[in-house]
Structure 1
């Protein structure tokens, strides 16, 4: 009877999780449609529908296909990438406050992108596809530095020490980035200031193609590792007792998290809190099992970023608010709430 109860509870959780993900998917579709209608030049739902079926004007086609759709797709991709990256980091560190932004991963990726943009024109085709790779190098070096500083031989990695080290390293990198901006000409300074605020600056199909392979390849791999993450969440000793190579699996998952965050930051700028809010929201909705938590985090992150980007383009028309600022307005109070609740 107890076994039957356990199976029934498991089936109920699975059914609830699938329903929640279906609702998130529907909300993303609604936000997608609204976002296509939102901008300085408004397209009515009928105009969008006509344009999608090839019956719109040349101007409407240009606005929809060359400006809005690439940006919307990028918003969805970076939202999913940053949220899953945060979910991985929270899982392997067993720290609810772990996030690629707080741990300095985003700052490391941003510093490398900033250095490259400072010395190379961003209009050429080659740099667009190199940006995720360069961001990965910067984020990887930062992650290695944080890990080495937070690691103690007899204690391993303390979650609190990891967070504090990441915050300190991120502050140092941010200071270096501010110093570097002093040598820039006004045009590049304006671009980098907007980038640091979290503006989705890569809003054409070249940037979609540069980011898409990273998300499409890494996300299924991470979803495949969901069972391993469930075991790691039990603690190192239990995971080792169950036959899991703890350090190897943690390293592989950390590399995947860094790659997701770095590739996303390369085209989105300094958008923070997505890796914190997305997994927390998903955990409240579907529970802690990573088979449901990881895809739910991806959907929640995608929804958060597309809504924030749409609001940023709508609130102060014809000007726009960087997406990162809108996300921060939502995320900062939530972060303070988590800090207040943490022991």
Structure 2
């Protein structure tokens, strides 16, 4: 039974975060290379803007705001699951190589398929999922010991090794590719939000609509997996089965996000930690908070990054890394 005080605190925190997301979205919609004044936002949103204003808002700004928020939510939830099933506070889909696996799959598909990326937009999450799943399974197998089960520290170390190896493979792949394709993959590696259009939202949204409720349904299992293995087994949890199911969920969430945003790390590391510090460690309480924090972090990073240096700005992945890397070092020293 969750105390009413905690539920009330969670609701207040979520309300504050929703307001924060709204303010950031409004500022992001109004600033940029093509300025759209704030007093014209509402009229343009309801169809009373000029052709230029409607083009800037509906074709450029709004899709990008939505895609960054959704991708941030997906990465945050993936981090929640990975930290829960491994009992390791440093687990993150970007740090342990899952994003890199998805990136290599996308690069192979992009380099050796004659189809333009815009025409296979709905295939990208599936391609990314295939690469991320293969990487995750290899990391899981190499981190597993028959006597003691999954070893959380080894998982992070193996994952970092895979991430570096796959990054090297990515460089090898693009070294002999055409210049146009190299530019695309370079932007992907930097975490440049390249899929900022309505079809990419439709490609990402079904994964979230299915997997967010599923993860909330599994929240109590995640609570139990966070305990010691004898305790979890004692209360009837099929540990390996639940871990595999949840690992597949985490991989699908991360792959669907990075397939349209590029290689972005640290969102899945920071969002769960901040959420736990605000509302406590119960997954039922902190998952919704982590979703909002993850969405806001990526939206904020992209909004700042694309306006720092005109016209191209700084990729969102770089902005997130500037915040996340020191945080990762802090957690590493603390733990």
TM-score by length of 1: 0.95
* Aligned-pair CA distance for 1:126: 4.1
Q: From 134, 137, 140, give the equivalent of 1:144.
A: 137
Q: From 9, 29, 52, give the equivalent of 1:36.
A: 29
Q: Counterpart of 1:129 in 2: which secondary structure?
A: coil
* Aligned-pair CA distance for 1:338: 0.6
Residue matched to 1:77: 70
Could you list the per-position Cα deviations for residues 139-181 of structure 1 after superposition, in whole angstroms to 9, with x for gaps in the alignment? 0000111111111111211111111010111111110000001
Structure 1 residues 124 and 143, CA gap change in structure 2 (3 angstroms): closer
Residue matched to 2:91: 98
CA contact (8 A) 2:70 2:295 kept: yes
Question: What does 1:113-192 correspond to in 2, within 5 Å?
Answer: 113-120=106-113, 123=116, 125-192=118-185
C-alpha separation in 2, matches of 1:47 and 1:284: 39
C-alpha separation in 2, matches of 1:40 and 1:205: 20
Q: From 14, 36, 39, give the equivalent of 1:21.
A: 14
| Alignment length (residue pairs) | 335
CA contact (8 A) 1:201 1:268 kept: yes
Worse overlay, 77-86 or 15-24: 15-24
Q: Counterpart of 2:310 in 1: which secondary structure?
A: coil
Q: Counterpart of 1:319 in 2: which secondary structure?
A: coil
CA contact (8 A) 2:110 2:117 kept: no
Unaligned runs of 5+ in 2: none
Question: What does 1:54-73 correspond to in 2, within 5 Å?
Answer: 54-73=47-66
Residue matched to 1:267: 260
Residue matched to 1:12: 5
C-alpha separation in 1, matches of 2:202 and 2:134: 25
Q: Counterpart of 1:89 in 2: which secondary structure?
A: helix
C-alpha separation in 2, matches of 1:43 and 1:193: 30
* Aligned-pair CA distance for 1:124: 5.5
Could you list the per-position Cα deviations for residues 282-334 of structure 1 after superposition, in whole angstroms to 9, with x for gaps in the alignment? 11111100001111111100000000000011111223110000001111111
* Aligned-pair CA distance for 1:120: 3.0
1:304 aligns with 2:284: no
Unaligned runs of 5+ in 1: 1-6
Residue matched to 1:48: 41
Could you list the per-position Cα deviations for residues 93-139 of structure 1 after superposition, in whole angstroms to 9, with x for gaps in the alignment? 11000111111100000100111111235646541000000100000
CA contact (8 A) 1:13 1:286 kept: yes
C-alpha separation in 1, matches of 2:58 and 2:318: 26
CA contact (8 A) 1:24 1:300 kept: yes
Residue matched to 1:328: 321
Q: Counterpart of 1:317 in 2: which secondary structure?
A: coil
Residue matched to 1:286: 279
* Aligned-pair CA distance for 1:243: 1.3
* Aligned-pair CA distance for 1:48: 1.4
Q: Counterpart of 1:97 in 2: which secondary structure?
A: coil
**Aligned-pair Cα RMSD in Å:** 1.2
1:219 aligns with 2:215: no
